[in-house]
Amino acid sequence: MTLTGVRIPRENMLSRFQKVDRDGSFSVQGDIRILYSTMMATRLVLLGLAKECLGKALLIGIRYSVVRRQFKNISGRKEET
């Protein structure tokens, strides 16, 4: 994520693996591969949650489309089920 023109106070930054000095220099503490693997694990969790929500939405849509009556019958009345 890249933020342009955004200023976060130093005391509000989560600086467990990164550090920003008072002069503005940025440094990474720890192994960059571990940080990347954490980011990839988070993305996989988000994909799993999205798959679950999409499945529920699809189920609701299919069930609704099965029972919905769109047109009237020839006599001009809606059909009773």
Binning the chain into helix, strand and coil, the percentages to the nearest 5 are 50, 5, 45
**Does residue 50 fall inside a structural domain?**
yes
**Does residue 79 fall inside a structural domain?**
no
pTM: 0.48
**Does residue 19 fall inside a structural domain?**
yes
pLDDT band at 44 (very low <50, low <70, confident <90, very high): very high
**Does residue 16 fall inside a structural domain?**
yes
SS3 45: helix
How far is residue 63's CA from residue 3's CA, in Å, rounded to a whole number? 43
Tens of pLDDT along 4-19? 998 888 778 777 778 8
Domain that holds residue 25: 10-67
The two structure tokens encoding residue 58: 């699809």
**Does residue 58 fall inside a structural domain?**
yes
